[in-house]
């Protein structure tokens, strides 16, 4: 093993421990000297003990229908989801990814057999101003902005294609323009972006088993179904006063949803919190005395599920192993520990769900490996599978050490790095 790499990793681990980022330090310390292929294979080993809820499988199916997946492919993807119960949940939803998310998908998909599927649950609960630039064709030299400035603080979830996107796509180099789905103003941006991202990364990585979907859409559809059942745990959390109070006490000021709002000519998003008798944001109050009202808000797209309800659905009620980046390996175990202490969550036995599943890094080309650039420049992507995981990590030392979450701070948890 290269001594220089060992020294760099040890320096990162020691600094993280001093900053009380113990889980991230442990993930790096345990796995840095494994090859990317061996680590990916290890990540992709998981056998859930509980059956998946039919409502969640239906929700995945509905999202695949929205993305116009063929019936044959849909059936195969749902079979794989049910069997493997593994999701990549790090990337934010955008048409093209940057070098880190591209590296994450390369790493996460290495250990997936050809007959199975690597599913990326892209997160649309972010504004267009997010640091990942979800409303751009991301390139090393700036890229192309597809949305007007009035949308910079708007929610990506359920956003529509603006005229500017159609105009800018027409100006793109032929090599990428002919690879993009047809864009129509007023149609779903998230559908277009998912198709774009999936096509580009399938082509570059030469893998047809990559599937990209909007995980917020999946969680929304699931909630619409289960809130109709008064015996379901989510119905109880929102509509049983005693359980709602206990949940709120365990997660004070935790963001439960995001709400899109219009202010003059600008689109914005607000954080929605759970109070004693309502869901509240700065300008919105939803009384929790009738499930049908909450269901209608979800159906209309006026509420987008945030991190906590999303991971409750996926990891803790349906035993998905969720891959994540450096912040997730810290905050997801804290969600787990907090939920496990609640009496009404005991039946789900969530203590043994693997929650620190680190996928992050930069490829040796570092911050130059933009999928859009690789496609435009017609460059063949080649990366040896025996590269050490630690080699992917040292290129992002600054980001690892600057990560904000320590397992005790709650104020910025929902920025989702």
pLDDT of residue 410: 43
Q: How confident is the model over 377-387, as pLDDT tens digits?
A: 988 898 999 99
Q: What is the 3-state secondary structure (H, E, C) of 159-213?
A: CECCHHHHHHHCCCCHHHHCCCCCCCCCCEHHHHHHHHHHHHHHHHHCCCCEEEE
The pLDDT of residue 413 is 40
Is the pLDDT score of 156 beyond 50? yes
Would you say residue 417 has pLDDT above 60? no
Say if residue 221's pLDDT is above 50. yes
Q: When comparing pLDDT for 368 and 178, which is higher? A: 178
Tens of pLDDT along 89-98? 999 999 999 9
| Structure confidence at residue 399 (pLDDT) | 87
Does residue 148 have a pLDDT over 70?
A: yes
**What pLDDT shows up at residue 191?**
98
CA 186 vs CA 154, 175, 304: distances in Å:
15, 25, 20
Cα four-point dihedral sign 73, 76, 79, 85: negative
Which pLDDT score is estimated for 3? 64
The average pLDDT across 386-408 equals 82
> How much is the mean pLDDT over the chain?
93
Which pLDDT tens digit goes with each residue over 13-67?
999 999 999 999 999 999 999 999 999 999 999 999 999 999 999 999 999 999 9
User: What is the pLDDT at residue 37?
Assistant: 98
pLDDT class for 371, splitting at 50, 70, 90? very high
pLDDT range class, residue 405, cuts 50, 70, 90: low
Could you tell me which residue, 415 or 190, shows the higher pLDDT?
A: 190
pLDDT at 365 (0 to 100): 73
Mean pLDDT of 215-228: 98
Amino acid 404: pLDDT: 62
pLDDT one-digit tens code per residue, 279-306: 999 999 999 999 999 999 999 999 999 9
Q: What is the mean pLDDT of residues 160-164?
A: 97
> What percentage of the chain has pLDDT greater than the value 70?
95
Strands ordered across the beta sheet of 304-305: 285-287, 278-280, 266-274, 255-263, 304-305
């Amino acid at each position: 093993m290269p001594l220089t790499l060992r020294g760099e990793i040890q320096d990162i681990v020691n600094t993280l421990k001093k900053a009380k980022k113990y889980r991230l330090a442990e993930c790096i310390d345990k796995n840095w000297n494994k090859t990317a292929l061996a680590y990916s294979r290890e990540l992709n080993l998981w056998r859930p003990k509980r059956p998946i809820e039919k409502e969640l499988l239906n929700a995945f199916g509905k999202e695949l229908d929205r993305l116009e997946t063929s019936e044959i492919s849909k059936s195969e993807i749902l079979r794989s989801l049910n069997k493997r119960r593994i999701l990549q949940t790090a990337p934010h939803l955008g048409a093209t990814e940057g070098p880190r998310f591209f590296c994450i998908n390369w790493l996460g998909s290495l250990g997936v057999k050809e007959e199975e599927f690597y599913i990326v649950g892209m997160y649309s609960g972010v504004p267009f101003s997010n640091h990942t630039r979800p409303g751009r064709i991301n390139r090393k030299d700036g890229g192309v902005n597809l949305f007007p400035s009035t949308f910079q603080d708007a929610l990506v979830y359920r956003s529509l294609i603006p005229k500017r996107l159609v105009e800018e796509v027409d100006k793109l180099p032929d090599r990428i323009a002919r690879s993009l789905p047809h864009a129509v103003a007023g149609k779903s941006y998230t559908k277009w972006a998912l198709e774009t991202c999936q096509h580009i990364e399938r082509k570059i990585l030469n893998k047809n088993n990559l599937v990209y979907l909007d995980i917020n859409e999946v969680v929304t559809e699931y909630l619409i179904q289960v809130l109709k059942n008064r015996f379901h745990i989510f119905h109880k959390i929102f509509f049983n006063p005693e359980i709602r109070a206990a949940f709120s006490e365990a997660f004070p000021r935790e963001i439960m949803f995001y709400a899109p709002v219009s202010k003059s000519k600008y689109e914005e998003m607000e954080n929605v919190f759970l109070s004693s008798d309502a869901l509240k944001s700065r300008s919105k109050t939803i009384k929790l005395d009738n499930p049908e009202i909450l269901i209608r808000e979800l159906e209309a797209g006026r509420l987008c599920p945030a991190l906590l309800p999303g991971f409750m659905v996926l990891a803790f009620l349906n035993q998905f192993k969720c891959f994540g980046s450096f912040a997730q390996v810290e905050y997801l175990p804290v969600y787990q520990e907090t939920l496990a202490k609640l009496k009404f969550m005991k039946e789900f036995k969530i203590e043994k769900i693997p929650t620190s599943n680190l996928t992050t890094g930069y490829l040796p080309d570092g911050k130059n490996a933009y999928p859009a650039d690789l496609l435009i420049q017609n460059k063949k992507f080649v990366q040896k599978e025996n590269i050490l995981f630690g080699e992917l990590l040292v290129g992002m030392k600054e980001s690892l050490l600057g990560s904000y979450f320590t397992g005790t701070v709650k104020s910025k948890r929902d920025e989702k790095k």
